[in-house]
Amino acid sequence: MTARHALLLICVWVSVASCVVSAKSNVKILDENNWELLLQGEWMVEFYAPWCPACRALEPVWNDFASWSDDLGINIAQIDVTTSPGLSGRFMVTALPTIYHVKDGVFRQYRGTRDRDEFIGFVEEKKWGAVEPIPGWKSPSSVQMSVVSNFFKLSMLLRNIHTQLTEEHGIPYWGSYLIFAVATIVIGAVLGLVLVFLIDCFYPAKVAPKKAGDGAARKKHDDLPQEPDEDEEDIVDEKGSESDALELEEDGEEVEEVAQEATEKDDAPESEEPAEQVAAGSSSPDTRRRRVRKAD
């Protein structure tokens, strides 16, 4: 190889390296501290992880796309979810790599082909306008997604503690799980006591005060003889009046029958007794006793 060819090869490598460095310099690195830069201007941001094969395959394409950022008037960024777990929860990243287009705080997820020309066309032709934006309740800047972000941070913290207990201190996995279980029970009990204490402070239980002499008056009232209720007396009176009316009606029917028999005897020729005696005899108790009452 001549010196000329060697010099040409070196120039080619230098140019390639400079292009790569220039492309990487156009890729902005975002994390938990500066992610709010996405809320201003136009961005294309990639969520990735160093251990992800698809992310490693996309890296040269993404760097090449970043070299067009000045021509397109757009910012190109990356977020490492391993160092910023809270952002993976805030953006609800469930697969890697995940790409978002952001325009003045409005987030849209890119689902097209992962190719440089497709990225350029998506921005230059404003194809993102046909993509439905993420709803407001799911927006990364909302309060509820901030809460989700804190949960993701807590989960990553617990994972790091578990790794430290098992790898550095040599505690078996079941021992680490047992420690977490006991800690969860203790923390839950403490939080429950604090909650009950706060409720008692702000909403104390109201107890009705007892008046003096209530117990003695109640006992004296129980010792007094109980009078029958008015409803029971009414029932007894109604029953008695009904029975009296029935007896009077039966007596009237008997008198009428005896008078009718007496009249028949007066009309008969063999009857010699006066009508007065018949009437008198009909009202005597013997006569009433001999008469047979009609069946109801």
Q: Does 28 have pLDDT greater than 50?
A: yes
Q: If you average pLDDT over residues 96-100, what whole number do you get?
A: 93
Question: What SS3 state is found at 77?
Answer: strand
Strand partners, 78: 29, 46
Mean pLDDT for all residues in the chain: 73
Q: Does 203 have pLDDT greater than 60?
A: yes
Residue 166 has a pLDDT of 83
Residue 38's closest CA among 108, 114, 138? 108
pLDDT digits (tens, 9 = 90+) for 53-62: 999 999 999 9
Residue 276 has a pLDDT of 46
Residue 53 has a pLDDT of 93
Residue 136 has a pLDDT of 79
Q: If you average pLDDT over residues 131-156, what whole number do you get?
A: 81
Q: Does 178 have pLDDT greater than 50?
A: yes
Q: If you average pLDDT over residues 217-224, what whole number do you get?
A: 56
pLDDT digits (tens, 9 = 90+) for 62-80: 999 999 999 999 999 999 9
Q: Indicate if the alpha-carbon torsion angle 124, 139, 48, 81 is positive or negative.
A: positive
Return the number of other C-beta atoms located less than 10 Å from residue 208's C-beta.
Answer: 5
Residue 107's closest CA among 82, 84, 137? 137
Q: Does 249 have pLDDT greater than 80?
A: no
Q: Does 91 have pLDDT greater than 80?
A: yes
Which comes out higher in pLDDT, residue 225 or 123?
123
Residue 75's closest CA among 43, 101, 49? 43
Describe the chain by its helix, strand, coil percentages, rounded to 5: 65, 10, 25
Residue 22's closest CA among 61, 53, 67? 67
Judge if the upstream peptide bond of residue 97 is cis by omega within 30 degrees of 0.
Answer: yes
Residue 184 has a pLDDT of 84
Catalytic residues: 52, 55
Which comes out higher in pLDDT, residue 258 or 84?
84
Q: Does 10 have pLDDT greater than 90?
A: no
Which comes out higher in pLDDT, residue 148 or 13?
148
Give me the amino acid identity at 105: G
Return the number of other C-beta atoms located less than 10 Å from residue 104's C-beta.
Answer: 10
**What are the Cα distances from residue 294, in Å, to 250, 253, 285?**
9, 9, 18
pLDDT digits (tens, 9 = 90+) for 117-135: 999 999 999 999 999 998 8
Region of poorest pLDDT, from 96-100, 206-210, 251-255? 251-255
Q: If you average pLDDT over residues 251-263, what whole number do you get?
A: 61
Region of poorest pLDDT, from 2-6, 151-155, 158-162? 2-6
Residue 132 has a pLDDT of 92
